[in-house]
Amino acid sequence: INSNTLLSTIPVTFVGTPSGATYGGGDIAVDAQGVIWAVTQEIPGDRQVLLQIVISGTTATARKVGDISDTGGNAVFASPSNVGSVAFGSDGKLYFAKSGGAPNGQAYSLNLENAVATPIGTNTSIGASDFASCTFPSYAPVIAASKTVSPAGAVAPGAVLTYTIEVENTGN
């Protein structure tokens, strides 16, 4: 992630990140609401962090959720053992694993509110190079429909009536 652009086309405003920080390596996943989540290395500091990136129109805002730590507050995957895989499961949780370094192969679930990582399963001797997300867009339609007739009021038998039906979705 470049501190000035996202995908080289959309300007990004960083919120809650250290001045002059840059980010390298890691992986991204998109949740069911279309929010991008990045697990990446923050430089300087050489620590893994969780970023939330929201795109609105032609701009994006990246917010640092926090340094990734275990439930005891210890840093998870300090450099150079970068995260190589991030994905959402069908349960809506964000999962990640590292790509190399020791300990290889440990997978975690990640709390999106505070960047606390919880190990899942047992550590293996191989790293994970890429996961695949299992999320689907979350639709929340808000549908309103109205019907009008013309001419309004009383009509003679055999008169031609025109009905207009308008449907509006103010949700997504």
- The answer to whether residue 2 scores a pLDDT higher than 50 is no
Residue linked to tokens 């620590």 = 47
Q: Please report the pLDDT score of residue 105 as a whole number.
A: 64
**Least confident stretch, 3-7, 89-93, 150-154:** 3-7
The count of other CB atoms within 10 Å of the CB of residue 100 is 14
Q: Please report the pLDDT score of residue 5 as a whole number.
A: 45
pLDDT band at 147 (very low <50, low <70, confident <90, very high): very high
Helix (H, G, I), strand (E, B) or coil at 159: coil
What counts of helices (H) and strands (E) characterise the chain? 0, 13
The count of other CB atoms within 10 Å of the CB of residue 53 is 19
| Pairing of β 143-150 and β 116-120 | unpaired
Exposed (0-12), middle (13-18) or buried (19+): which is 38, by Cβ within 10 Å?
A: buried
- Enter the tokens of residue 28: 């991204």
pLDDT in tens, 64-120: 998 888 888 888 765 555 677 888 988 888 988 876 555 556 788 999 999 999 888
Check if the beta carbon of residue 34 is closer than 8 Å to that of residue 58. no
Mean confidence (pLDDT) of the chain = 80
Q: Please report the pLDDT score of residue 75 as a whole number.
A: 82
pLDDT band at 20 (very low <50, low <70, confident <90, very high): confident
**Least confident stretch, 17-31, 56-70, 121-135:** 121-135
Closest CA to 87 of 49, 30, 143: 30
